């Protein structure tokens, strides 16, 4: 494979995670050290930064701040939900991107994101090829939803899972402190895939977690739900439930839509969710004479860097580094993926490369056989899957008792 | 002072905190080691356990589990909100308590709690004295609200404060990731005293926190609130607000009651549930064309042991130990309080003893002069006050990547 010399640009897209900056850190560090990369650029707010020529130069940043990126939550370059049109329909954006690539001599494009971002990568790569511009494009996975196809798991998932399992363990202790009955309903993120909500089972597995867990993978029936809660409550005088924001009835209608019929849609056409826990709190209050409390984990679950998994951080850094190493060695149009291996019974994570086209717009869900028959709990298979991913504690730098996060100067290129 | 030999009983009351078990740990450890204490008992669900003879023997617990108590959140003995009548009106409960004390030869009563618990201690102590039963009663402070009179601060506050400041720092990064405008409204606990909500100012003080903070100490005006949010939003395209659940209008009416009045009915004819933050989300959504998100920290803020302050844990243990040491040395009818001293500019915490009668039913609020003139932020005086309290990280034991919390056998005495 021929040597390709030029600048690289790194972008971040989609919802934030605790470790998306760890991947950026891995890529920036590897790129700064690579002789074939002449300049390390960052695109502000994902692809929008390239479209609007809003580009920073990582070479101008302080080393200390780059180091802090490893443990800083959210997307330090900013994110976007902008969806490129199909180039067959309208190639305006693609021509702008090509223009920017030419302007900065960008030969490498590293994009950290989820399904939609891999689709973006794929389209850009094809357009460049069709227009005779040599450029290597690599996707770096990122999603707390863990729903990317072809990879064993996704950077960002495990840290959010660790936070949810930790918080549910703590809520378990809190919610049963009084001698009166109490029902607690916790809402976790997850539109179509229940991986994150399912991670609450790690707490249940230790005997200190939720009694019932509902995922979008299984049709949600309100009457069954009430009966299950009643059964636990009558026995224990307490009941803790965790639900995915995206649970749906047998006709595929979101339960959150029962309360909010006309919800705004985001620019990808996803219904904006929220308020499900409060709705179910009402449902249970109506059916069972008990103190009911709704807790929505909201943004907290995806940005809790103080509770990140070391395994997740390390793997995220590795994903970023690998993308740079692979691209400079000749690889293009791939997403960095993970494969697990057990060496002497010990979990290890190996890299595999996936075709961007195979990843884009495909969702991986929790296998039905990992969910119990009643559809309200997880089986050992899921516990075995997720347990190694949450191991290890973050080495987050603290200052005055609070996390010290990176602040970039963001000098324009 | 005469030597008093007999059993001791420890109880916990009021809302849970991350460190109320650290105080219990301190008391249990000191009591188990004390030659004048013949047996170390625990009352399940606060004073209710003594009333119902629901009492456990700490001597039967495994040492490892007692050690784990130091970092286990919530009240391991269970709690209650039971309020004793005035003995002049009805002394039934007091006679039952006396009976239980006699049955187990209880000579020492250690009660960990807030305002109401100190009142309970005080009443029990007086009743015992009037009935010629020698018994020493000590209160150990506990409240995330930090509103106990006479003590510089209260065990439990700093850990909740650290969690809030940490989470707000993380939310700061998450809430400004997109290139579109966003307003985030976070609701923290605090009915009458704003200490906990104010602690979000620690994040703001680092330039990574909320823009506006509203406490119950200052009358809340909705029009001013909208104007202030608008001003920040127009300048920054983002705005993060933190409000105390207990903010009130100039007539003393809770703003959350405005929410109740405006509640929509769901399909069951029930009022749609949702707290103050959700109400203010509606207020702002109506006034400002922006994406608005409400986050309620809920139980998470008071049980987040994984984010506890080492200073708080150490001081809580010390408070428990001191209560035992003082009582066995002859002290009674006191609450353990804290006084801060600066030795060579370094914060240290000294113990002082306060009359139970002086503490009971008095609330300490955030001084008005520590709040800015507009009533929407904190001054340096507050930062200086709270900063040393959140220092240091918990040494929580982890198992499989999750906190390992205590589980007591609770063998009945």
Distance from CA of A64 to the nearest CA of B (A): 17
Least confident segment among A51-60, A98-107, A256-265, A335-344? A256-265
Residues in chain B: 413
Q: How far apart are CA A190 and CA A174, in angstroms?
A: 25
pLDDT given for residue B326 in this prediction: 98
Contact A295 B300 (CB under 8 A): yes
Indicate whether A266 pLDDT > 60. no
Q: How far apart are CA B179 and CA A78, in angstroms?
A: 7
Indicate whether A144 pLDDT > 60. yes
Confidence class of residue B261 from pLDDT cuts 50, 70 and 90? low
Question: How close are the terminal C-alpha atoms of chain B, in Å?
Answer: 29
| Residue-wise pLDDT tens digits, B303-352 | 999 999 999 999 999 999 999 999 999 999 999 999 999 999 999 999 99
Q: How far apart are CA B149 and CA B97, in angstroms?
A: 27
Q: How far is CA B108 from CA A228, B28, B31, B40, B111, in A?
A: 45, 12, 10, 10, 10
Closest CA to A385 of A201, A186, A206: A201
Average pLDDT over residues B175-182: 91
Helix axes of B20-32 and B310-328: crossing angle, nearest 10 degrees: 40
Closest CA to B388 of A400, A32, A224: A400
Per-residue b or e along B365-401, where b marks 16 or more CB atoms closer than 10 Å to that residue's CB = bbeeebbeeebbbbeeebbebbbbbbbbbbebeeeeb
Edge-to-edge, what's the strand order for the sheet holding B212-214? B212-214, B238-244, B182-188, B291-296
Confidence class of residue B274 from pLDDT cuts 50, 70 and 90? low
Tokens for A52, please give them: 């609007």
Q: How far apart are CA A43 and CA B270, in angstroms?
A: 48
Q: Which of A79, A294, A303 sits opposite B273 (nearest CB)?
A: A294
Least confident segment among B124-138, B272-286, B334-348? B272-286
Per the listing, tokens 């409240």 go with B143
Contact B298, A293 (CB under 8 A): yes
Q: Best residue in B12, B69, B174 to probe A by mutation, most A CBs within 10 Å?
A: B174
For chain B, state the CA radius of gyration: 23
Tokens for B126, please give them: 């007086």
Confidence class of residue B270 from pLDDT cuts 50, 70 and 90? very low
Tokens for B342, please give them: 């600066």
Model-level ipTM above the cut of 0.90? yes
Q: Cα B21 from chain centroid?
A: 12
**B72 in contact with chain A, both atoms CB, cutoff 8 A:** yes
Q: How far apart are CA B274 and CA A243, in angstroms?
A: 17
Confidence class of residue B363 from pLDDT cuts 50, 70 and 90? confident
User: What are residue B77's phi and psi, to 5 degrees?
Assistant: -90, 0
Contact B22, B69 (CB under 8 A): yes
Tokens for B169, please give them: 């720092």
Q: How far apart are CA A81 and CA A15, in angstroms?
A: 8
Least confident segment among A17-26, B116-125, B141-150, B352-361? B352-361
Percent of chain B topping pLDDT 70: 96
Question: Coil, strand or helix: which one is A149?
Answer: coil
Least confident segment among A14-18, A212-216, A268-272, B79-83? A268-272
Distance from CA of B295 to the nearest CA of A (A): 7
Q: How far apart are CA B137 and CA B11, in angstroms?
A: 12
Contact A404, B205 (CB under 8 A): no
Indicate whether A85 pLDDT > 60. yes
Tokens for B365, please give them: 């609020």
Q: Which of B171, B393, B403 sits opposite A303 (nearest CB)?
A: B171
Adjacent-strand bridge partners of B249: none
Q: How far apart are CA B120 and CA B287, in angstroms?
A: 47
Q: How far apart are CA B53 and CA B44, in angstroms?
A: 9
Q: How far is CA B106 from CA A45, A255, A326, B5, B136, in A?
A: 66, 54, 72, 9, 9
**A351 in contact with chain B, both atoms CB, cutoff 8 A:** no
Per-residue b or e along B313-337, where b marks 16 or more CB atoms closer than 10 Å to that residue's CB = bbbbbbbbbbbbbbbbeebbbbbbb
Indicate whether A407 pLDDT > 50. yes
Q: How far apart are CA B315 and CA B310, in angstroms?
A: 8
Confidence class of residue B275 from pLDDT cuts 50, 70 and 90? confident
**B300 in contact with chain A, both atoms CB, cutoff 8 A:** yes
Q: Which of B175, B270, B387 sits opposite A299 (nearest CB)?
A: B175
| Average pLDDT value over all residues in chain B | 94
Q: How far apart are CA A219 and CA A249, in angstroms?
A: 5
**A390 in contact with chain B, both atoms CB, cutoff 8 A:** yes
Least confident segment among A239-248, B90-99, B217-226, B251-260? B251-260
CB < 8 Å from A in window 79-138 of B = 79-81
CB < 8 Å to A391, chain B: 400-401
Q: Cα B186 from chain centroid?
A: 19
Contact B411, B56 (CB under 8 A): yes
Tokens for A410, please give them: 């963001």
Candidate list A116, A119, A145, A211, residue with the active-site label:
A145
pLDDT given for residue A1 in this prediction: 59
Closest CA to B312 of B151, B154, B110, B139: B154
Three-state SS annotation for A37-68: EEEEEEECCCHHHHHCCCEEEHHHCCHHHHHH
| Residue-wise pLDDT tens digits, A297-341 | 999 999 999 999 999 999 999 999 999 999 999 999 999 999 999
Q: How far apart are CA A240 and CA A185, in angstroms?
A: 6
Indicate whether B265 pLDDT > 90. no
| Residue-wise pLDDT tens digits, B152-165 | 999 999 999 999 99
Q: How far apart are CA A348 and CA A151, in angstroms?
A: 14
Contact A45 B179 (CB under 8 A): yes
| Average pLDDT value over all residues in chain A | 94
Annotated catalytic, A33?
no
**B263 in contact with chain A, both atoms CB, cutoff 8 A:** no
Contact B402 A171 (CB under 8 A): no
Q: How far apart are CA A394 and CA A413, in angstroms?
A: 32
Confidence class of residue B223 from pLDDT cuts 50, 70 and 90? very high
Tokens for A133, please give them: 């511009």
Average pLDDT over residues B356-367: 87
B301: alpha, beta or left, given left = phi > 0 and alpha = psi -120 to 50? alpha
Indicate whether A131 pLDDT > 50. yes
Confidence class of residue A273 from pLDDT cuts 50, 70 and 90? very low
Per the listing, tokens 């205590």 go with B406
Q: How far apart are CA B257 and CA B394, in angstroms?
A: 38
Continuous H helices in B109-254: 115-130, 157-175, 195-198, 201-205, 222-236
pLDDT given for residue B267 in this prediction: 40
User: Who has greater pLDDT, B275 or A100?
Assistant: A100
Adjacent-strand bridge partners of B148: B363
Per the listing, tokens 């009430």 go with A226
Per the listing, tokens 């069709």 go with A130
DSSP character at residue B269: S
pLDDT given for residue A270 in this prediction: 45
Element (H, E) at A183: strand A182-188
Contacts of B127 (CB under 8 A, 6+ apart): B87, B91, B94, B97, B98
Element (H, E) at A224: helix A222-236
Percent of chain A topping pLDDT 90: 90
Q: How far is CA B34 from CA B40, B313, B327, in A?
A: 10, 22, 11
Percent of chain A topping pLDDT 70: 96
User: From start to end of A279-411, where are the E strands?
Assistant: 291-296, 334-343, 346-355, 398-399, 402-403
Distance from CA of A191 to the nearest CA of B (A): 18
Tokens for A30, please give them: 């590897």
Contact B101, B135 (CB under 8 A): yes
Closest CA to A100 of A81, A124, A117, A116: A124
Residues in chain A: 413
Helix axes of B157-175 and B310-328: crossing angle, nearest 10 degrees: 170
Contact A390 B403 (CB under 8 A): no
Q: Which of B75, B78, B178 sits opposite A81 (nearest CB)?
A: B178
Distance from CA of B157 to the nearest CA of A (A): 14
DSSP character at residue A237: S
Contacts of B412 (CB under 8 A, 6+ apart): B54, B55, B56, B57
Nearest 5°: the CA angle A282, A195, A185 is 20
């Amino acid at each position: 494979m021929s040597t390709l010399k030029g600048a690289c640009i790194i972008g971040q897209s989609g919802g934030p995670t605790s470790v998306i900056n760890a991947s950026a850190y891995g890529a920036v560090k590897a790129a700064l050290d690579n002789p074939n990369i002449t300049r390390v650029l960052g695109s502000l707010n994902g692809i929008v930064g390239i479209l609007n020529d809003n580009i920073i130069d990582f070479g101008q940043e302080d080393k200390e701040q780059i180091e802090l990126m490893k443990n800083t939550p959210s997307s330090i370059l900013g994110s976007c939900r902008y969806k490129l049109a199909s180039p067959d329909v309208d190639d305006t954006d693609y021509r702008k991107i090509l223009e920017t690539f030419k302007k900065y001599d960008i030969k490498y494009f590293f994009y950290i994101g989820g399904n939609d971002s891999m689709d973006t990568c794929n389209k850009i790569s094809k357009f460049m090829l069709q227009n005779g511009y040599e450029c290597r494009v690599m996707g770096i996975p990122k999603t707390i939803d863990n729903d990317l196809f072809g990879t064993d798991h996704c950077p960002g998932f495990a840290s959010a899972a660790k936070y949810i399992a930790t918080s549910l363990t703590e809520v378990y202790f809190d919610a049963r402190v009084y001698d009166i009955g109490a029902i607690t309903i916790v809402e976790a993120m997850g539109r179509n895939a229940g991986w994150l909500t399912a991670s609450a089972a790690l707490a249940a597995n230790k005997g200190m977690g939720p009694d019932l867990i509902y995922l979008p993978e299984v049709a949600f029936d309100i009457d069954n739900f009430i009966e299950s809660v009643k059964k636990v409550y009558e026995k224990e005088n307490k009941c803790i439930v965790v639900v995915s924001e995206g649970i749906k009835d047998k006709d595929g209608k979101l339960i959150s839509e029962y309360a909010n019929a006309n919800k705004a849609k985001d620019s990808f056409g996803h219904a904006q969710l929220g308020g499900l826990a409060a709705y179910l709190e009402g449902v249970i209050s109506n059916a069972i004479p008990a103190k009911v409390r709704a807790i929505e984990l909201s943004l907290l679950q995806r940005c809790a860097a103080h509770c990140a998994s070391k395994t997740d951080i390390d793997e995220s850094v590795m994903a970023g580094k690998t993308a740079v190493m692979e691209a400079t060695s000749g690889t293009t149009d791939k997403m960095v993926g993970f494969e697990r291996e057990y060496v002497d019974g010990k979990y290890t994570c190996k890299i595999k490369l996936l075709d961007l086209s195979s990843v884009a717009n495909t969702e991986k869900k929790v296998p039905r056989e990992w969910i119990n028959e009643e559809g309200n709990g997880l089986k050992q298979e899921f516990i075995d899957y997720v347990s190694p991913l949450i191991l290890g504690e973050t080495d987050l730098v603290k200052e005055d008792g609070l996390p010290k996060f990176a602040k970039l100067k963001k000098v324009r290129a």
